[in-house]
Structures are given as structure tokens and as C-alpha cells.
Amino acid sequence: MTVRNVTVVVEFILLGLSSDPKTQVVLFLIFLFWYMIILIGNILFIILILTDTNLHTPMYFFLSNLSFLDLFYSTSTVPRMLRDLMSVRNVISYAECATQMYMSLSFGETECILLAIMAYDRYVAICYPLHYTTIMSNMVCVRIATGTWLCGFLLSISHVGLTLNVDLCGNNVINHFLCEVPEILSLSCENIILVEFIIFVVGVIILMTPVTFIVVSYIKIILSIIKIASSSGRMKAFSTCGSHMIVVAIFYGSAMAAYMKPRSSSIPGTDKVIAIFYVIVPPMLNPMIYTLRNNDVKVTFLKFRNKYFHCH
């Protein structure tokens, strides 16, 4: 019997977005600015929904959940990334790496499910307007939201558990700015074809199930919108759904690019850019998209601004 020496990894080195000090300063300022937009935009959006009773509807309840989710999602990765951009050697402990991987994946999977739930909400509102308040009652919305968060955090356990179980043989240099499942798997020194296949299948199910649900919902929504007699009614319905579809396209497009491709097809550095598009871009754009394309939110924002920031 041969005994293989196993080097236990206790920390990882994150190569980050750039090794050039000047570039790092520029990137730090850019991402700090974006992170401030994320914080201000989502917190303001939540405040607007909470303070205006006209926005106490299922759609805005789920939108407030999305804003909370985006706050946590970005905060699970961006502050650490900002710190690393101003550091010489970006070392992250094994425990912190595992925690970051689990939290960011959990928030990401929760967002996948939440976007599908929001599509269902629009489907009920447009296709069954007379029964909307009954079907999407307050209690039902709370239960759906609770189930969504629980599912996101439970589903990610399989991904992280399988990833942390592979043998790294001392390999600890991650060519990324955060700890992610694909990046950790790429450090493995053993045959992990089965592990990669299981993670790929689970990832496809987690991503494609909500996408299929969204597509079916929107096909039915479009067919119902076409039947609406008034042009203003059709425009309002399309505008509300259009905001959601923009968010879905950005988030799912980048997530699929990261998690639904073979590792052999990865081009060094591209995974970092793709990650920005689902970790930073959606949380930053979501409040703006829903505010600019939604008259109710714009009216509430103007009232809020005039009340608290109007100069006499």
C-alpha cells in the first residue's frame, strides 16, 4: 500500500484583477464608486417601498427582497475585493474562502429563484387580475419569500460541500478576485470528472429551471398583453415586464457563462470579467432600472426628495 503525502491548504492567494499598482488604484476607485451606488441605490429603493403605502403590493414586496438580496450579495464579495486591491499580497484563509464561496453562491442561487418568482407574480397580475390579491395574498408572499431564501442557502450546500472535498495537493493560487467553485476545482490535483459532472448537472438544474419558468410565464404574459384593448394598458404591462426581463438577461446571461461551460474552454482572465457582470452589475443597475421604468416609483421618489431634500 502506498501512502501519498497530502499537503493541507490553510490559505489561498488571490491574484485579483491586476498586479500593476497604478491599475489597482484606478480599479479600487471605480469599484468603490460602484459599491457606493449599490448601497445608496438599494437602501433608498427599500426606504421608498417601506414608506409609501401605495407600494405595499406583492410586486414591490419582491422588489424589496431583491434589493436586500443585492445588498448582501455584493457585500459578500466587494469589500474584500476592495481591500485586496490596496494590498500587496492578497491572502485569504481557507475558512474565509469557504465562507465567501458559500455566501456568494447562496445569494446568487436565491436571486435565481427570486427572479422566477417575480415573473410568476407578473403572470398572475396580468393574466388573472381579478384574482391577483387572493392568489398573491400577504401571507402567500411571505411564505414564498421565506421559501426562496431557504432554498438558495440549502441548494448551495451541495456545490460547496463537493468543492471543499477535493484534494488540492497544496495548490493555493487562485486566478480570480474571489473564491468561486470553478476556481477552486481548477486547483485540484486528482481526477474530479465525476465531481465536476455532478456540480455541472446541479448548476444546470438550478439555472435552467427558473429560466424555463420565466420563459413560459412571459410567453403567457405576452399572449395576454396582446389581447388588452387599450394601448396605454399594453404599454404599462410591457414596461413593467420589460424592466424584469432586462434584469433577468444580465444576471442569467453572465451566470450561465460562468457555470455552464467546460473548464477546458475557459480563457484566463475572462472569468473575472464575467463575475463582475453577476456580482456587481445587477445590484448596481436593478434599482435604476426599476425606478426609471416605473412611474409609481418615480412619483414616490419625487415626493421623498421634496419632503426631505427640498430647499426653501
Angular region, 11: left φ>0, alpha ψ -120 to 50, beta rest = beta
Nearest to 290 by CA among 123, 65, 73: 65
Task: Say if CB 189 and CB 168 are below 8 A apart.
Answer: yes
264, pLDDT greater than 60: no
- Residue 2's pLDDT is 44
Q: Is the pLDDT of residue 3 over 60?
A: no
Q: Whole-angstrom Cα distance, residue 131 to residue 133?
A: 6
Q: In 3-state terms, what secondary structure has residue 92?
A: strand
Nearest to 96 by CA among 14, 209, 208: 14
In this predicted structure, the answer to whether residue 124 has a pLDDT above a threshold of 50 is yes
Q: Helix (H) and strand (E) counts for the chain?
A: 12, 3
Asked whether 48 and 297 are in contact (CB, 8 A), the reply is yes
Cell of 45: 429603493
What mean pLDDT is predicted for residues 151-179?
A: 88
pLDDT of the residue at 1: 43
The kind and range of the H/E element at 13 are: strand 11-14
Show me where the domains of the chain are located: 11-297
Percent of the chain with pLDDT over 90: 38
Q: Which CATH class is domain 11-297?
A: mainly alpha
> Are 133 and 90 spatial neighbours (Cβ–Cβ below 8 Å)?
no
In this predicted structure, the answer to whether residue 6 has a pLDDT above a threshold of 60 is: no
